[in-house]
Amino acid sequence: SSELTQDPAVSVALGQTARITCQGDSLRSHYAGWYQQKPGQAPVLVIYEKNSRPSGIPDRFSGSSSGTTASLTITGAQAEDEADYYCSSRDNSGYHWVFGGGTKLTVL
């Protein structure tokens, strides 16, 4: 199996840009997906296949990837973006999935 590593916490001023990163060997071969989870709610996919957004996800959310690092960028963070964010991908075998430990985003 493989692991995905995220910073536990990131803070951003309202209206500024937040960047959340995810590191892991599996990201060389597999796309990262990014999930937003608010307290008491199920996760919501916000970015998949490097930089695709499901319908209904605001275009201030974007993704990128280089080597073993994937990034989620929120351009012009809003108060409602305060949440936990998880990255996920297949592991090196391709038949298992892994999640990062999550990043708590605080919008100041």
Partner 1 sequence: EVQLVESGGDLVRPGGSLRLSCAASGFTVSSYYMTWVRQAPGKGLEWVSFIYSGDRTSYVDSVKGRFTISRDSSKNILYLQMNSLRTEDTAVYYCARGPSSAWNYWGQGTRVTVSS
97 binds partner 1 (CB under 8 A): yes
37 binds partner 1 (CB under 8 A): yes
Q: How far is the CB of 75 from partner 1 (least distance, A)?
A: 21
79 binds partner 1 (CB under 8 A): no
Which range in 11-19, 21-29, 32-40, 74-82 contacts partner 1 by CB under 8 A? 32-40
DSSP per-residue string spanning 23-72:
E-GGGGTS--EEEEE-TTS--EEEEBTTTB--TT--TTEEEEEETTEEEE
Q: Establish how many alpha carbons lie within 13 A of residue 13's alpha carbon, considering only the half-sphere containing its beta carbon.
A: 1
Q: Which of residues 5-24 bind partner 1 (CB under 8 A)?
A: none
